Amino acid sequence: MKKRILSFIIITAIILSSISTTLANSENIDPILKETATYITENVKSPTVGSIGGEWAVIGLARSNVEVDSGYYDCYYDNLEKHIEACSGVLHNRKYTEYSRVILAVTAIGKDPRNVGGYNLLIPLGDFEKTVWQGINGPVWALIALDSGSYPIPENKDAKIQATREMYVDYILKRQNNDGGWSLAENMPSEIDVTAMVLQALSNYRHLANVDKAVEKALVLLQNSQNENGGFSLSGTASCESSAQVLTALCMLGIDYDSPEFTKNGKTVLDDVLSYYTGKGFKHTKTGDENLMATEQAFYSLVALERHKNGKSNLYDMTGECESITEIFMRHIISVIELRKRVESH
């Protein structure tokens, strides 16, 4: 009897271990994507402008392979237009990441950020000083937003210094710490999530020798900071968001998450991200319940992986997703011609 019980325990342990290993396999993230998408849509029923419960939910869902009713995106765009009208096109006086985040969401749903309620949301990113005012986040997300649709930086007539992509890249490189990472505030210890977000922004510029050198140095830092669970920490507690940002960065750089360099003790960053999964959403740390911020970031990191795995454009490469001004104009011309034909036929 004891032998049977012992055998049962051993077999059960083997099965559970197998399930855990299978769950961490990138081929099996689709069920998690669907469940998480359900969690997001149920908790963000009316997405609007905001860093939580807003654009990140929309971006993740729009770039995923999960079917979402188009009315969800229409709801967001309607809320955005109302917000734009209420604030007269000024999303924030100082934090220009507000513009970058909205540009990404608008582009993701196939709309044109150069004309939202009559406002061109790209223009603020043409002001170099105001964009970098908030620190590294400003130029990082400005580059990601501008590159999402290969948008040229528009002239900002009110700017003291007209921005260029090269200026933003140079600013970012100058802020790199000696250990290869970046921090939110200048002259502070490197942070995993900030370093990973910078790598996402620089992923389109590795053809430049100085950028490639900076990226390689940062990747070494991440490799050395990976723990035995597959997660990352430099100082403080590892988090779901940090691993999610690293996973997103690796996918955008075209690096397999399970490469030998990013596998520790048989564990990968994907293992760590999934260890925060509750069956509905994701937790910020290993304890507690799921929360929306962690869930949104984990979700779009898995979307980034799904896109990388299937040879699709990366998470933020939405070139061709939105209509150009010419396409919009031609579509309206065709509509007018068709309407005139119908009127004349009667």
pLDDT (0 to 100) of residue 158: 96
Beta pairing partners, 226: 232
CA 118 from centre of chain: 26
Backbone angles phi, psi at 250, to 5 degrees: -60, -45
Q: How many CB atoms lie within 10 A of CB 95?
A: 17
Q: Which two tokens stand for residue 16?
A: 């559970």
**Closest C-alpha to 238, from 271, 191, 201, 285:** 285
Cα–chain center distance at 323 = 21
pLDDT score of 11: 44
Helices (H), 137-264: 137-148, 165-174, 192-202, 209-225, 240-252
Report how far residue 127's alpha carbon sits from residue 150's, in angstroms, rounded to the nearest whole number: 18
pTM beyond 0.75? yes
- Asked if 234 contacts 181 with a C-beta cutoff of 8 angstroms, the reply is yes
| pLDDT value at residue 340 | 54
- What was the pLDDT predicted at 333? 52
| CA-CA-CA-CA dihedral for 65, 308, 279, 229, to nearest 10 | 180
CA dist 219 and 207 (Å) reads 16
**Residues of the chain under the 50 pLDDT cut:** 1-3, 5-24, 323-332, 334-336, 338-339, 341-343, 346
DSSP conformational letter for 121:
T
What is residue 28's predicted lDDT score, i.e. its pLDDT? 83
Q: How many CB atoms lie within 10 A of CB 166?
A: 10
Quote the pLDDT of residue 315: 98
What pLDDT does residue 319 have? 92
Structure tokens at 82: 């109302």
pLDDT of 237 reads 78
Angstrom distances, CA of residue 288 to CA of 182, 241, 294? 29, 15, 12
Residue type present at position 23? L
Q: What is the pLDDT of residue 20?
A: 39
What are 220's two structure tokens?
């070494």
